[in-house]
Structure formats: C-alpha cells, structure tokens
Amino acid sequence: MRDVCVVGVGMSQWGEVWRKSLRQLFVDAALEAINNSGVDRLDSLYVGCMSSGLFVGQEHVGALMADYLGMPGLPALRVESACASGGLAVRQAFIEVACGMSEIIMAAGVEKMTDCSGSDATFALATAADQEYEVFHGATFPGLYAMMAHAHMDEYGTTREMLSAVSVKNHKNGAKNPAAQYPFEVTPEQVAKSVMIADPLRILDCSPITDGAAAVIVTTEEVAKKLGKPYIKVLGSGAATDYMQLAQRDDMTTIKAATLAAGRALKMAGKTIKDVQFAEVHDCFTIAEIVLLESIGLYEPGKAGPATLAGETALDGKFPVNSSGGLKSKGHPVGATGVAQVVEVYKQLTGQAENGRQISGSPKIGMTQNMGGSGASSVVHIMEVA
C-alpha cells in the first residue's frame, strides 16, 4: 500500500444557510480545498451524503457535484452510511490512493437539512434506525441515545453533571471556531434546565440540524511534497458495523462498531490508543461522547464521564476531545460531519486552528471517529504530522 496524505481542506458556511443550495454548499467547500491544496486536477470524487433524497428530493449527487464543480467527466460516487457517510467517503479516497489506482482524490461531504420541515428532517434522520422495529414503535434518534444514557447511568452511575460537562466543553471549543453553527458558550445550569427531548437528554445534549459541506484532498506523499503546502499523513483507516437494532446488541453501554473501527485503524497505523494525543469524536448527543471515549479504549467503562467532569478532555486537558466544538457546537450536517472531523485534525496537526483553538504542545497524532445511526456503523482514521 502507498502512503496516503491529506493536503488542503475546505468548509462551506455551516448553519441555517438559506442562501445556499445543496450543490452550492458542496462547491464552496470543494473550491476552498482545491485552492488550499494547489492541485490542478482531480482523478475522482467521493461525496458523503446521507439523505439528499429525503431532505431536498435529490439523488445522484456524485454526478451532480462533479458537474457543478466544473468537472463533468470526473468519476464520482456518493457514499452513504447515515451520519458516517463523510468518514466513509474519506476512507474510500484513502483506499483508492493506497491501492495505487489514482493519485489525487477529493473526499467531500454535504447535507442540506433546513429546506424541509422539522418533522420531515426528523423522519429523514430516523431512516438511519430500523424502520420496522425501532421507528415503528415511536423511537426517535434522541430516544435511542437516551436509552443508551439510561443504561449507562444505571450500570456506571453516570450523572446529569457529566452529560452537561460534555456540552459545556464542546460549546467552549466551538465558541473559538469561526465555522461553528453555535459559536457560544453554555453553562452547566443552562444545559440542566434546557427543555427535555427524550429523558434524560435535553435540547442542549443534542447536536443541531445543519446545512453544510466539507472537503479534503487525499493524495500520495509524492504529490503532497511537490505541492509544497502543509500536509498530514493518514496512518490508518478502520471501519466496522454492528447490529442495527439497539435491543439486539449484547451491551447497550458501549459502541462496538467504534471499538472495532478504532482497533483496525490503530493496527494499520502500528499505534496504540496511548500514542494518540487528541480526537474528534461523534458527539451527536452528550452521552455518545462519553460512551465513545470508553469504546475506543481511551477510558475504562464508566470512567469517561468523571474524566470529562475533571477537565481531562478540555482543550487544555491531557487528551483534548472535539477541539472543533464537535457536532454539538460546530453543527451536524450529517453527510459532511465525518469529513469536517478530518478538516479539524488537519488544522490542529498543521498548526492552523483559529482563534486560540490550537492545542498546545504541537500534537503529532490525532484521531477522527465518525458513526452512523445509533452506532451500527463507524469509521476511524489515525493521522500524523508529515
């Protein structure tokens, strides 16, 4: 396998972006990535997108995006794995470069979620769960994570204060991110008193509905060197799936797909979790971040909540998590999230994080963990400074 690098990243505006369409969000992010990398061509394009068909009635987005990027003729493929679509688009680009088939690939992600009613958006998101045996019974996405939260609280004594600490930390980081949808801080009291969505999860435990896109250029080290721009190496890529239904998993207090994906990515990278210095993880709900930090092996089961409360995962903690603000503050355009996680790790590793968001001590190795649905799919990448 060839070494694979990321050189040049881009993000569109994120938020309720009424002035921009699905295709324009993509083009904004894609052009920024092309300009930042200095590449003069693409060999292929992967577009992570969960549900453009339900959000805006548009499928066939691989071809549409190649077309509006001004590159009709380019091989292009949409990648779908619910909220892990973006991370898997990056993985497909990684595979295509690693195997020697292509040299310069764009991995992008896009979602336009506010052109439909809130109820239609909720329906579209719920298609990532089992329609006949979860959604049929009235389960919602917050509801599925709420059931994990109750199980985790029952098993390990995880508390409201620990859940709130995740939201407070991620908003604090996001307040320093110019790309964040909700760049403001929240207090533990605000989180604890915010409206209940699905017990025990409140609105400030939940990531928002977001329009947005992100793009990265994936290439060989030879090309990256020639371009003369800052680049990072992708040391390992791992993906995994699990039972779709939460009820059928052996243990509802862990995300096995994340454990498997992280294990595979670390093995490929020749590293252990102890070598990783910071991570972007899929905090679609506050409980998800706690469960994930345990699932990827950073903390023993039941220990991630107390560690978060103690500040260990803060920007100045011993293992910063979601320096970007995470899904909670930065926003969660589902197909774009996994790519935007790579954008953040790229910025951190190349010393380009804005507004005092840079992790101190020049970290050398970072991780992204992206996941679909209630954890039925996950993808992890390990990246290192060049």
Partner 1 sequence: MTMFSSRNWREYPQRYRLEASKFKKSGKAYLPPRSVDPKTGDTEFETVRLPDTGKIVTYTIIRTAPSQWGDEAPYAVAITELVDGTRLMGQVTDCDVEAVKIGMEVRIEFRRVQSEGHHGVLSYGYKFVPKWY
Least distance between partner 1 and beta carbon 141 (Å)? 10
Stretch binding partner 1 (CB under 8 A), from 59-67, 136-144, 261-269, 354-362: 136-144
The 8-class DSSP code of residue 359 comes to P
**Does the footprint of partner 1 cover residue 57 (CB under 8 A)?**
no
Question: Closest CB to partner 1 among 40 and 195?
Answer: 195
Stretch that binds partner 1, among 17-25, 168-176, 190-198, 335-343 (CB under 8 A): 190-198
Question: Distance between the two ends of the chain, CA-based, in angstroms?
Answer: 17
Exactly one of 136, 187, 270, 274 binds partner 1 (CB under 8 A); that residue is: 136
CA angle 305, 379, 301 (to 5 degrees): 25
Q: Should residue 197 be labelled a site residue for partner 1 when binding is judged by CB under 8 A?
A: yes
Number of residues that bind partner 1 (CB under 8 A): 34
Considering the complex, state which of residue 147 and residue 304 has its C-beta at the smaller distance from partner 1. 147
Does 246 contact partner 1 by CB under 8 A? Answer: yes
- From 245, 297, 302, 364, residue interacting with partner 1 (rule: CB under 8 A): 245
For residue 164, which of 134, 187, 136, 180 has the smallest C-alpha distance?
187
**Using CB under 8 A, which residues numbered 61 to 90 contact partner 1?**
none
Cβ-based nearer residue to partner 1, 75 or 302: 302
Neighbours of 40 (CB within 10 A): 8
Q: Distance (Å, rounded) from C-alpha 160 to C-alpha 166?
A: 10
Answer yes or no whether residue 247 interacts with partner 1 by CB under 8 A. Answer: yes
Question: In DSSP terms, which residues pair with 45 in a beta bridge?
Answer: 76, 106
Region near partner 1 per CB under 8 A, out of 40-48, 88-96, 100-108, 243-251 = 243-251
Is 83 a known active-site residue?
yes
> Is 75 strand, coil or helix?
coil
Active site residue 332: yes
**Cβ closest to partner 1, residue 68 vs residue 123:** 123
Identify the active-site residue in 5, 83, 206, 284: 83
* Shortest spacing between CB 377 and partner 1, in angstroms: 15
Write out the two tokens for 351: 């010393």
What are 377's strand-pairing partners? 241, 372
Sign of CA dihedral 14, 190, 314, 276: negative
Answer for the pair 97, 219: CB distance below 8 angstroms, yes or no.
yes
215 is written with which tokens?
Answer: 């793009």
**Both structure tokens of 144:** 């599925």
Instruction: Pick the binder of partner 1 from 21, 133, 192, 223 (CB under 8 A).
Output: 133
- Which ranges in the chain belong to alpha helices (H)? 22-37, 52-56, 61-68, 85-98, 118-126, 141-156, 160-174, 188-193, 221-227, 256-269, 286-295, 304-309, 326-330, 337-349
Rg (CA), the chain: 19
User: Scanning residues 91 to 130, which ones bind partner 1 (CB under 8 A)?
Assistant: 119, 122-123, 126
Selected binder of partner 1 within 1, 99, 101, 196 (CB under 8 A): 196
Told to check if 355 binds partner 1 by CB under 8 A, we report no
Question: Which residue in the set 243, 263, 350, 358 belongs to the binding site for partner 1 (CB under 8 A)?
Answer: 243
Q: Is the dihedral of CA 15, 123, 147, 263 positive or negative?
A: negative
217 binds partner 1 (CB under 8 A): no
Interaction of residue 314 with partner 1, rule CB under 8 A: no
Kindly compute the dihedral angle of the four CA atoms of residues 341, 381, 99, 223, in this order, to the nearest 10 degrees.
50
User: Closest separation between CB of residue 123 and partner 1, Å?
Assistant: 6
- Which sequence positions are flagged as catalytic? 83, 332
Footprint of partner 1 on this chain (CB under 8 A)?
119, 122-123, 126, 132-140, 142-143, 146-148, 150-151, 154, 195-201, 243, 245-248, 252
